[in-house]
C-alpha cells in the first residue's frame, strides 16, 4: 500500500483544526489530527513543505519506521511544531492500517482492557454558587468526576471560566489577537480552598473533584495549595507549576498527598522522563495530537505504566474529533488508563464536518468498532469554514509583568 498523496486541511467549524489525509494506491485513505492551538499554520507549512515530499511513494504500513524517520531523521528533534506534524501523519497511518485490516485501532494495539472510558467534565462559573450549580448539573448528567474552576474575585477572565461568553467555541472566535488577563497569586491562593470546601459541604464525598492551576505557581506556593486542598480529596491537581524544571514536582510531593497531574504541553517521552521515573506525578496528561500521535503517546503510556502512573489525556476543544478518537482507542486498550478529560462533542458546524465513533452516557464514553479510528471528514463542508487567526490569552501581573499562562 503506497502513499500517493498527503493532503493538509485547515478549517474553522467554530474552532481551527488541522486535518491530515493520506491517500494510497489501494484507494484507502487515513485521517490524522495536527491541530496546535494558536500556531496552526506553522504545522501546516511543516507538513506541506517538509514532510509531504518525503512520504510520497513510501509504504503506508511502515508506521514505526516512518515515525523514526520523521523524528530522528529530521535531526531537529521534538518541539510542538514537529511533534504535532508527526502526530497528524502517525494517526493517519494507524487509521489506514486499521481500515486495511478491517479492524478498529484498539485491536491493533492489543485489544481492550475495559468496556468504557471514564471521563471528567468541567464545571466553571463567575461565582462559587454558579460553579457549584454547574457541578450539580454534571452530577445529574452522570459524571463521577468534575474539574472546578471559578473566577477569582478581583481578577477578570480567570483561567477556565467563560466570562460573558456562552461556551468555549464563542470564546475562541473572540480572540484574533492574544487578550491580556490579570493574575494575582495571593488572591488565587486565598480563594480556591473555599471553592472546594463549599463543594464538599454541598455535594459530599462521592463525586471526585479536580482543579487546573495552569502552571502559575512556584513550587512552594503549589505545595501550600496542594496541602490546603488535602481535606477535599482531589482526584488530581493539574499543572501546579510549569514543568521545564521536572524536579520542581518533587518539592510539591514532599509536602502533600494531593495527587498531581501534568503533561498537556509535553511533546515527547523525554519531557516526562524524570517526572515518571521519580514518581513525582500520579497522572500523565500528554495528548496524542501534540506528542507524535499514537506511536508517540503509546511509548509514554507504557513507560508510565512501569511506574504505577496512570493516563489522563488532555481533552480540550482544540483537539479535533480525530485526536479524541485516537485517545479513545488508547484509553480502551491501556491497562494504566486513568481518566479522560471531556468537554462535549462541539457544535453543529463541527458535526457537519466530522463524524466520530464516540457516544457519552453516565460519565463514560463508549467507542464503536468501526475500522481504523472511526472518524469521517467531509471536505466540502469543511471548505465552508476557512481558518481564522485565534490566540490563547496571556497573563500579566497588575504592574505589567508577563506571567506564566
Ligand atoms: C485543559 C487545558 C486547556 C488548554 C488549552 C490550550 O486542561 O483542558 O489546560 O484549557 O489551556 O487546550 O490550547
Ligand atoms: Mg490544563
Distance from the alpha carbon of residue 52 to the mean position of ligand 2, in angstroms? 32
Does residue 167 carry a pLDDT above 90? no
- Ligand 1 atom with the smallest distance to the CA of 214 is 9
Can you give the pLDDT at residue 370?
A: 98
Average pLDDT for 57-63? 98
**In this predicted model, which residue has the larger pLDDT, 77 or 165?**
77
Q: Going by C-beta distance under 8 Å and a sequence separation of 6 or more, which residues neighbour residue 108?
A: 94, 97, 98, 101
Measured by CA distance, the residue closest to atom 1 of ligand 1 is: 316
Ligand 1, closest atom to CA 238? 7
CA of 264 to the centre of ligand 2 (A): 6
Residue-averaged pLDDT of the chain: 97
Domain boundaries, the chain: 3-104, 109-372
Residue tagged active-site, from 159, 188, 232, 249: 159
Residue 317: is its pLDDT beyond 80?
yes
Mean pLDDT computed over 225-230: 98
Give the tens place of pLDDT for each residue, 8-58: 999 999 999 999 999 999 999 999 999 999 999 999 999 999 999 999 999
Rounded to two decimals, the pTM is: 0.97
pLDDT at 123: 98
**Under a CB-based contact definition with an 8 Å cutoff, are residues 85 and 47 in contact?**
yes
Range 90-114 average pLDDT: 98
Grid cell digits, residue 57: 511513494
pLDDT digits (tens, 9 = 90+) for 260-308: 999 999 999 999 999 999 999 999 999 999 999 999 999 999 999 999 9
Position 159 scores a pLDDT of 83
Q: Which atom of ligand 1 is nearest to the CA of 343?
A: 8
State which of 210, 214, 265, 339 you would mutate to test the pocket of ligand 1, scoring each by most atoms of that ligand within 8 A of its C-beta.
214
How far is it, in rounded angstroms, from Cα 379 to Cα 85?
A: 20
pLDDT of 172 strictly over 80 = no
> What would be the CATH architecture of the domain defined by 109-372?
Alpha-Beta Barrel (3.20)
Among this protein's residues, is 279 annotated catalytic?
no
- Residues with C-beta less than 6 Å from any ligand 1 atom: 37, 212, 214, 264, 314, 316, 318, 341, 392
Average pLDDT estimate for 133-156? 96
- pLDDT number for residue 200: 98
pLDDT at 162: 82
What is the position in ligand 1's atom list of the atom closest to the CA of 315? 8
279 alpha-carbon distance from chain centroid: 21
What percent of the chain is modeled with pLDDT above 90? 94
* Nearest CA owner, ligand 1 atom 4: 316
Confirm whether 232 is a catalytic residue. Answer: no
Residue 158 has pLDDT above 80, yes or no: yes
Q: Residue whose CA is closest, atom 3 of ligand 1?
A: 316
Task: Tell me what pLDDT residue 314 has.
Answer: 98
Residue of 358, 388, 342 lying closest to 144 (CA atoms): 342
Q: How far apart are CA 239 and CA 263, in angstroms?
A: 8
Q: Which ligand is nearest to the Cα of residue 318, counting in written order?
A: 1
Distance 267 CA to ligand 1 centre (A): 15
Indicate which residue's Cα is closest to atom 8 of ligand 1.
316
Q: Which of 150, 105, 116 is nearest to 132 (CA)?
A: 150
Q: Which one is catalytic: 214, 327, 329, 364?
A: 214
228/231 Cα distance (integer angstroms): 7
Among the listed ranges 21-25, 170-174, 193-197, which one has the minimum average pLDDT value?
170-174
Angle CA 335–288–1, to nearest 5: 100
- Give the single-character DSSP code of 98: H
Atom 13 of ligand 1: nearest residue by CA position: 37
Measured in Å, residue 283 CA sits from the centre of ligand 1 at 16
pLDDT of 160: 82
Quote the percentage of the chain above a pLDDT of 70: 100
**Minimal-distance CA residue to ligand 1 atom 6:** 37
Superfamily of domain 3-104: Enolase-like, N-terminal domain (3.30.390.10)
Q: What is the band of 161 on the pLDDT scale with cuts at 50, 70, 90? A: confident
- How far apart CA 228 and CA 193 sit, in angstroms, is 7
Amino acid at each position: 500500500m503506497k502513499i500517493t498523496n498527503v493532503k493538509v486541511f485547515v478549517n474553522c467549524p467554530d474552532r481551527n483544526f488541522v486535518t491530515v489525509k493520506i491517500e494510497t494506491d489501494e484507494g484507502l485513505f487515513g485521517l490524522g489530527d495536527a491541530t496546535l492551538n494558536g500556531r496552526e499554520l506553522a504545522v501546516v507549512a511543516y507538513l506541506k513543505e517538509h514532510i509531504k515530499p518525503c512520504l510520497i511513494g513510501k509504504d503506508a504500513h511502515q508506521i514505526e519506521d516512518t515515525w523514526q524517520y520523521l523524528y530522528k531523521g529530521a535531526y531537529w528533534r521534538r518541539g510542538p511544531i514537529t511533534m504535532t506534524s508527526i502526530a497528524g501523519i502517525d494517526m493517519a497511518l494507524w487509521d489506514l492500517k486499521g481500515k486495511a485490516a478491517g479492524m478498529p485501532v484498539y485491536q491493533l494495539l492489543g485489544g481492550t482492557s475495559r468496556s468504557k472510558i471514564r471521563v471528567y467534565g468541567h464545571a466553571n462559573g463567575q461565582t462559587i454558587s454558579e460553579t457549584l450549580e454547574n457541578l450539580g448539573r454534571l452530577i445529574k448528567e452522570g459524571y463521577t468526576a468534575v474539574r472546578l474552576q471559578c473566577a477569582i474575585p478581583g481578577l477578570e477572565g480567570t483561567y477556565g471560566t467563560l466570562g460573558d461568553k456562552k461556551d468555549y467555541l464563542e470564546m475562541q472566535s473572540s480572540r484574533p489577537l492574544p487578550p491580556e488577563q490579570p493574575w494575582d497569586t495571593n488572591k488565587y491562593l486565598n480563594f480556591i480552598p473555599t471553592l472546594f470546601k463549599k463543594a464538599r459541604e454541598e455535594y459530599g464525598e462521592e463525586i471526585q473533584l479536580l482543579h487546573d492551576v495552569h502552571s502559575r505557581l512556584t513550587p512552594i506556593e503549589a505545595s501550600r495549595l496542594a496541602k490546603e486542598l488535602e481535606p477535599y480529596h482531589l482526584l488530581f491537581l493539574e499543572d501546579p507549576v510549569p514543568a521545564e524544571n521536572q524536579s520542581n514536582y518533587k518539592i510539591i510531593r514532599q509536602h502533600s498527598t494531593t495527587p498531581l497531574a501534568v503533561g498537556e504541553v509535553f511533546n515527547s517521552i523525554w519531557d516526562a522522563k524524570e517526572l515518571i521515573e521519580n514518581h513525582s506525578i500520579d497522572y500523565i496528561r500528554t495528548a496524542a495530537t501534540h506528542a507524535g500521535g499514537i506511536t508517540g503517546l503509546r511509548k509514554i503510556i507504557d513507560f508510565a505504566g512501569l511506574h504505577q502512573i496512570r493516563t489522563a489525556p488532555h481533552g480540550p476543544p482544540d483537539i479535533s474529533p480525530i485526536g479524541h478518537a485516537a485517545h479513545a482507542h488508547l484509553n480502551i486498550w491501556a491497562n494504566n488508563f486513568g481518566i479522560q478529560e471531556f468537554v462535549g462533542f462541539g457544535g453543529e458546524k463541527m458535526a457537519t464536518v466530522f463524524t466520530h465513533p464516540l457516544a457519552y452516557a453516565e460519565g463514560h464514553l463508549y467507542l464503536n468498532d468501526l475500522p481504523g479510528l472511526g472518524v469521517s471528514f467531509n471536505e466540502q463542508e469543511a471548505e465552508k469554514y476557512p481558518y481564522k487567526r485565534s490566540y490563547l490569552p496571556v497573563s500579566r501581573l497588575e504592574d505589567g509583568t508577563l506571567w506564566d499562562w
